[in-house]
Amino acid sequence: MNTEALKDLLYKIADDQLILGHRNSEWTGFGPLLEEDIAFSSMAQDKVGQSWQFYKILNELGESDPDTVAFMRNADQFHNCKFVELPNGEYDFSLIRHFLFDTAEGIRFNMLSTSSYEPVAQLAKKIKGEIKYHTMHANIWIKQLGSATEESIGRLQQALDYAMPYALGIFETSKFEADLKQEGIFDGEEALKAQWLTQIGEIIAETDLRMPEIQSLQPQLGGRYGEHTEHLQPLVEEMSEVFRVDPTADW
Amino acid sequence: MYGGGNVFEAMKATALAEEDPKELAKFEARIDRGEKIEPKDWMPQLYRKQLIRMIEQHAHSEIIGALPEGTWITRAPGFKRKLALMAKVQDEVGHAQLLYSAAETLGKPREQMLDDLVTGKSKYSNIFNYPAFTWADSCFISWLVDAGAIVNQVANSKGSYGPYCRALERICAEESFHLKYGHHCVIHLATGTKKQQEMMQAAVNRWWAPMMHFFGPSDKISVHSDILMRWKVKMASNDECRQQFLDMYVPKIWELGLTLPDENLHKNLETGMWEFTEPDWEEFKRVINGDGPCNKERLAVRRMAEERGRWVRKALLAPKTKYVAPLA
């Protein structure tokens, strides 16, 4: 088995989950209504918990322990897509990101549930069940707000147009794509993207929103190779502020 | 989390004269028998008013209380702490949701209660007007402020208004996990490295005065209300709650090698009562009336959240909105 290819895949998944979980948790206390405050917190807990499980698999493959990996790296050592590190902005952007990203994630974990690498397949089966609720939540809100008032439709459309190039960055291919497919670990980003376009298109068609012209967009790439926006380093510094006071201490 | 103390305003002596004496006698007899009053039952206006005031303040305390701790979610050290703190603060927001619903059964809509919060018309627990400077502050809150809240809430859960009591029972069960989490965090700091110990001691020093204020002014100077005790709206006096808290937690704090910044604090073995330097009630009044270190910031944050979320709430009310049936 190509361990480097496997680790690369696990890092990008774990980092995506951790960073978006962190962003979701920033909604605590600020939601547009209490129920959404609580919902974003639940999704944050799921995502951070899932990242922890992936870092544990990485640990078994010889990487450092999960706390060290998560709390002691700098931004350029993270493999998450740029999409998840963008600030929450208003609820419209957070909701659109949640919809676009979690739909992709639901498909990704479905694909991984038949991975030839058994620890990943087992974990993906469990996570798939959790993500199902995230996508249900996103779909309900997109349908409601995407067909409600002029303001809500306008806001979501603007957020969708802004988010889409970043969302396409989720599917940035790794240099190990061929190895992963050949070994049956993962069917690859292109297959994932094709399913994703169909699924988000179906939901958007049920609203007054318009799907952006995907072909004309320039995807925001680089995240998978450690290139990030200016937003990631401050996030990482905030996340590790206490941990780094004394990384050897038991907190 | 909620302390109490600041809840009740002085009542007019004539307030009860306007009530139907027969209904009032039946109502009081039910309370004497230990029955719960339910939303559609007859109740005096005064009972309704004071309960709305109390439950609403409790609900506000939960969402405002989520702010000083919530700010540490993004900085919690390590996966275990990060996940636990997220779940803990989420619980607090859930408590607010539960309590606003309980208050709504008495006739005041949630939106109106939130409006009264951001305009400063209704209050919340005074302790959240103090800042959480370090991680250790958030640990102090999780352990000891929640412990104080449990003392107060367990007492109130035996009160007379059914929906509030049921909400409190559930809240107390969840709070007891918060307390375990907070205690665990404090133990790690108090018995950890020198830096961690110093951080924890500094937090204890900062939070002790607000903690003593938490239960409200001494019974000697607070507004008394026999009738609210008789109606089982208020179940324990401020001093009773404070004494119970000191009895349960001072030994646990000392056990960890931490000190408390009050050299007069000790238990009088003859009376069985804790004695301490009288807290500065002038400061308490000043802070509760808006002049504390964080009053403006807390309300500004809440107001911002309300304003930024308004379009979402408006959209949900739009007749065009597609109602999407929950799938699970």
Chain segment A195-238, per-residue pLDDT in tens: 999 999 999 999 999 999 999 999 999 999 999 999 999 999 99
Q: How far apart are CA B27 and CA A218, in angstroms?
A: 71
Helix (H, G, I), strand (E, B) or coil at B183: helix
Q: Which residues of B touch A42 (CB under 8 A)?
A: 90
pLDDT of residue A18: 98
pLDDT band at B165 (very low <50, low <70, confident <90, very high): very high
Are B74 and A26 within 8 A, CB to CB?
A: yes
Contact B169, B153 (CB under 8 A): no
Q: How far apart are CA B148 and CA B150, in angstroms?
A: 5
Could you tell me the two tokens for A174?
């790794």
Residue B5 has pLDDT above 60, yes or no: no
By C-alpha distance, which of B138, B1, B21 is closest to B75? B138
- DSSP letter at A246 equals -
Of A37, A147, A245, the CB nearest to B321: A147
Of B195, B312, B326, the CB nearest to A145: B312
Residue B8 has pLDDT above 60, yes or no: no
pLDDT of residue B323: 64
Residue B77 has pLDDT above 70, yes or no: yes
- DSSP letter at B16 equals G
Domain spans of chain A, in order of start: 3-245
The verdict on A72 touching B (C-beta cutoff 8 Å) is no
Nearest C-alpha in A relative to B309: A32
Contact B144, B178 (CB under 8 A): no
Whether pTM exceeds 0.80:
yes
The verdict on A184 touching B (C-beta cutoff 8 Å) is no
Q: How far apart are CA B199 and CA B186, in angstroms?
A: 10
End-to-end CA gap in chain A: 37
Distance from CA of A193 to the nearest CA of B (A): 25
Q: How far apart are CA A55 and CA A70, in angstroms?
A: 8
Stretch A84-107: mean pLDDT, rounded? Answer: 98
CATH 1.20.1260.10 fits A3-245, yes or no: yes
Q: How far apart are CA A202 and CA A139, in angstroms?
A: 10
pLDDT tens by residue, B219-267 = 888 766 788 889 999 899 999 999 999 999 999 999 999 999 999 999 9
Residue B173 has pLDDT above 60, yes or no: yes
Backbone angles phi, psi at B273, to 5 degrees: -105, 150
Torsion of CA B8, B12, B14, B19, to 10 degrees: -30
Are B83 and A52 within 8 A, CB to CB?
A: yes
Stretch B85-106: mean pLDDT, rounded? Answer: 97
pLDDT of residue A251: 95
Helix (H, G, I), strand (E, B) or coil at A193: helix
pLDDT tens by residue, B181-224 = 999 999 999 999 999 999 999 999 999 999 999 999 988 887 66
The verdict on A246 touching B (C-beta cutoff 8 Å) is yes
- DSSP letter at B127 equals G
pLDDT of residue B325: 66
Stretch B77-101: mean pLDDT, rounded? Answer: 97
pLDDT tens by residue, B103-117 = 999 999 999 999 999
Which CATH code fits B19-291?
1.20.1260.10
Backbone angles phi, psi at B266, to 5 degrees: -160, 165
> Of the given ranges (A60-69, A91-100, B223-232, B252-261), which has the lowest mean pLDDT?
B223-232
Residue A85 has pLDDT above 90, yes or no: yes
User: Mean pLDDT in chain A?
Assistant: 97
b/e A168-200 (16+ beta carbons within 10 angstroms → b): bbbbbebebbebbeebebbbbbeebbebbbeeb
Helix (H, G, I), strand (E, B) or coil at B268: strand
Amino acid in position B119: T
Q: How far is residue B326 CA from its own chain's centroid?
A: 32
Stretch A120-139: mean pLDDT, rounded? Answer: 97
Burial class from Cβ neighbours inside 10 Å (0-12, 13-18, 19+) for residue A229 reads middle
Could you tell me the two tokens for B63?
């969402």
Percent of chain B with pLDDT over 90: 84
